[in-house]
Structures are given as structure tokens and as C-alpha cells.
Structure 1
């Protein structure tokens, strides 16, 4: 009787978090939770979440071990900044067996941001433009350090910054512009635009809806939390049948509308 691989239809993904502050318990690993929710919403199955120290050998080992398991996607967070202990780019390069090199596109991204603020480029700031050979920078609209993307042995590998809002932005840019491996499922997303409700006020309702419908919901603040809150709410789901996931998204959206009205928020057609 032939051996059947029960995992053959799964689109596996792995997540690596890099940072001593996470291992010590000082920082809760919300980045891994967000990445897991987002990849799951696209139809991936998260096989493993690994947390390692800001040590080059640990980072190299984490990437090598993940690559050995042949997931479709590997996403890391942390370690892309300008300080001495930001070692992810170097660790990824060593894991892939390539050199770090100054990437012109990444350098231009960094120069443009610092020049707008009349801040000079130092060696530490220039460090963020060094990527593994063959990698591409991923736009970071919320910070300075670009993400790092490389397609290696049929695996989409993305390294994101550790600051949550930067990680989220780089992850979305990766999904929009770079990812090659996508599960053979239907994907649907819709948006609500809300004025007059603080993100923190809506957060417990969003948490309940995520659990209720097993769906991805992300609030993107566009205004000022205390004085003029404006939210872009992303609702996304994936599945085998397009009609089912659209129904799930619309049902969630309608419940959110009711909650927003109860909280005296204003729904806009756009921002």
C-alpha cells in the first residue's frame, strides 16, 4: 500500500521572531501573532513559530532549519535596524550562503527618508541598506529600514523590522508586490472607513468577531487616537468557495457596522 502524505495539500509557513526582549518576557510576541493571522487569512497553515536571540549563530540556525523543512513562506521580524545588535540581514545572508552587499535601491529608500529630515547618513544608517546578495528591499512606509525579500529554493523569505507598525506595513507590501507562493484558495477582502471611534474602543469588538468568524480583521489608524480618530478597517478571508468567504466577510462587515453605530461612529465611503 502506498504511503500517503497527509500534509501534501498544505501550504505551510514558518515565522521567526528575533529579539532578546521577547525571550526575556519583556516584550510580548504580538508580531508573530499578527503574521500568523495574516498568513492564515491567505490560506497558509503555520507550521512553526521560532524565537531566537540577537545572536548571529542563533539567527543563522533558525533560518537554515526553517529552509530545511521547505515551507512555502518564511517571515521573520526584528533585527533590521542600525544598531550593533541588529543582525538579521547578516544572519540571513550566512544561512543562504551569500554575501551581504550594498543594495542601491535600499540605499535610495533610506537616503530619501533621511534627506527629507536633513539628517546625514552615517555608517550605522547605511548599514540598513546592506542586503543578502540577490535580495530585494521591501518598502517600509512607517519607518526607515526596508524589509528584505528573497526567493530561495522555491521559498518566499521575508525579513521585516521589529516595530509592529513597520512590520505590518512591510508584510502588506510583501503580500501585495512580492509573494510568489499563494495557496490554491479563493481570497476576498473588503474595507470599512470609520470616523469618530478610537482604535482602542473598537479593539474588544474586533477581537470577539475574529474568534466568532475565524476571520482576519485589522484596524489601520489614519487619524489621531484622542483628538480625531479615523480608522481603515480591513476584513479578509480565504477558502475553497468564493461565495462562502464573501458571505463571511459581508456578515462580519454588517456586524461591525452595527457596532460602529452603537459607538456613535461615522461610516465613510472612503478616506
Structure 2
């Protein structure tokens, strides 16, 4: 294990990677609503929420809440109304955009906004082109736009469809006063593709001029219960740095990954803040009999 020196001159070595993010004011926040009975009964792991929360953070947006509701119009509408009351910059929903009877997200969103559902010509063109492509590739036998297929182009009034690069159901963008309501499919590949193409640029544009920095160090020989008060002390002394420990049990020996992050306008400020916090915590860990490292074993 590469030992951390007691005196560190070059704090840049701690910054493993830097992401240029933007956050104007901390009102650039996101509420997330995940739709699907399969999530509530534990049949499907909610990997969409994990991925979206991480990507939103790296785009400079703070995720405030993640809510899971079933495939019920009233539940979906209620969750959207409640999220709107918080007045976030973004609300993102995942799931329930397909052609089947239990895909009810857009119906719930329309109900929450008191808007009618209507066939969106732009979305219909997207759906038609996708099925024409499938037909040309021999993936489907019929190219007709059935009622189930048209359903995927039936959006709330004044909605903007977002292209789906890998699937059939478009994403949806609806502006509600100062909030951008974004509706994404539940299929992970489709959700990620729409996010990267249409949503991430929007988030970065709205986020402002701060930069998000994160890095990790590793500690051996100290239990999480003993580490917790040390982290509390360092966070009190460094209020702009967030520190989180992640236990990794290896052969019954305590092993911790310690994650540091901060958001600031200037990269030098970030390096200074993170470097100071890392040095302070590493010294406390060593005083309590632990060992620290910059790299995994």
C-alpha cells in the first residue's frame, strides 16, 4: 500500500479527476420520481435512480429526493404535484412510457398539470421513423402505427418530445413555470441514451459556474465506528467539504474507502479545501492507530 506522507506539498495528487459542472444558486435542484410496480415489490433493482443521481450530480444539479410510485395514475399525479410544490429546477421521472396498458406515466403527468393528452405530431414522426427503421432491418413484420404505437406519441399539451436514439418511446420535456419536467423511459439503455443526448446538456447549461471535485483515499486498521467522529471533526473544520466513508470488508480486517467532494467556482479553492481536509483526516486516523493510502491495495 502506498503510504500517505505526513507532510504533503503537492495537493494536486489528491484530485483524481475533475468535472466541470455548473450550479448558479442551490435552487438548481432535482426531484426524481421512479415509476413501476416492479420497483415496489423488489423484483427490479432501481439502478435508474442510482445512475441518474450520479449523473445529475456530475452535471452540477443537487438531487433532493427520490420517490418510487407504482403504475397508478393517481399515485403518479400526486407525486408530480408534490414535487412541483418544492419548486425545483428539474423533475425527472423514469418508467411507464411504453405501449402497454400499464404504462401510465404520461397520463399521470397530464393529470397533475391539468393538461389534455394529445397526439404530438413531432413525437409521432419519431415513432414512425423508428418503426420504419425496424421494418427495413427485418425486426418487425408490420410497419403500421397501431393504437399501442400511437400511444407512445400521445403527450400532454405543449410538451416537447426528446429523441430516443435506441428505442421507440420518445422522452418528454414539459416546462411548468420555472420547472423543467423531464419524462424518461424505464428501459436503462433508452433512459441513458436520451439523458446523454438531450438532458445532460440542459442540466449543464442551467447549472451555473461552479466546479465539482471529488477524490478518495483509503484507510486500514480503524473501525467505521472509530472513524465516524474523526470525519465529523474534519467536516466541522472544513464546512465546504463533504466526506463519506464506505466500509470494505477484506479478510475480516477493517478497510475503508473515504470519499471527499466539494463544489466551488475555482479549481485552486477546491484543491486547497480537499487537500486540507484529507491531510487533517489522515493525521487523525494515524494518531488513532490506522494507516492511510492514496490507492487501493
How high is the TM-score relative to the length of structure 2?
Answer: 0.61
**Cα deviation 1:116-171 (Å, max 9, x = unaligned):** 22232211011000111011001111111000101111001100000011111111
> Are the counterparts in 2 of residues 77 and 159 from structure 1 also a CA contact under 8 Å?
yes
Which residue of the partner structure matches residue 193 of structure 2?
A: 169
Of structures 1 and 2, the one scoring higher in RCO (CA 8 A, sep 6+) is 2
Query: How many residues are treated as equivalent by the alignment?
Result: 202
Name the SS for the 1:116 alignment partner. Answer: helix
Q: 1:199 matched to which residue of 2?
A: none
Helix, strand or coil at the partner of 1:117? helix
Q: What residue number does 1:240 align with?
A: 265
> 1:261 — aligned with what?
none
Could you tell me which residue of structure 1 aligns to residue 108 of structure 2?
A: 91
Matched-pair contact (CA < 8 Å) for 2:59–2:204: no
Question: What per-residue deviation string (whole Å, max 9, x for no partner) do you get for residues 46-102 of structure 1?
Answer: 111000000000000010000011111110100000000001111111111110111
Q: Which residue of 35, 42, 46 corresponds with 1:25?
A: 42
Unaligned runs of 5+ in 2: 1-24, 136-141, 213-247, 249-256, 275-297
Unaligned segments of structure 1, at least 5 residues: 1-7, 189-207, 216-236, 249-271
Aligned to 1:139: 163
**Structure 2 CA distance, aligned partners of 1:214 and 1:33?**
19
Q: What is residue 177 of structure 2 aligned with on the other side? A: 153
**1:244 & 1:169 partners in 2: Cα distance?**
34
Once the two structures are superposed, the pairs formed by residues 209-248 of structure 1 within 5 Å of their partners are 239-242=264-267
Match of 1:220 in 2: none
Runs of 4+ in 1 over 4 A off after TM superposition: 176-181, 211-215, 242-246
In structure 2, relative to structure 1, the CA distance for the partners of 1:33 and 1:52 (3 Å cut) is: same
Change (3 A) 1:169 1:243: farther
User: Could you tell me whether the CA contact under 8 Å between 2:98 and 2:185 is conserved in 1?
Assistant: yes
Q: How far, CA to CA, are the matches of 2:83 and 2:176 in structure 1?
A: 12
**Equivalent residue of 1:182, what SS?**
helix
1:181 is displaced (CA, Å) by: 6.8
Query: Which residue matches 1:76?
Result: 93
Distance, in Å, in 2 between the alignment partners of 1:245 and 1:110 is: 45
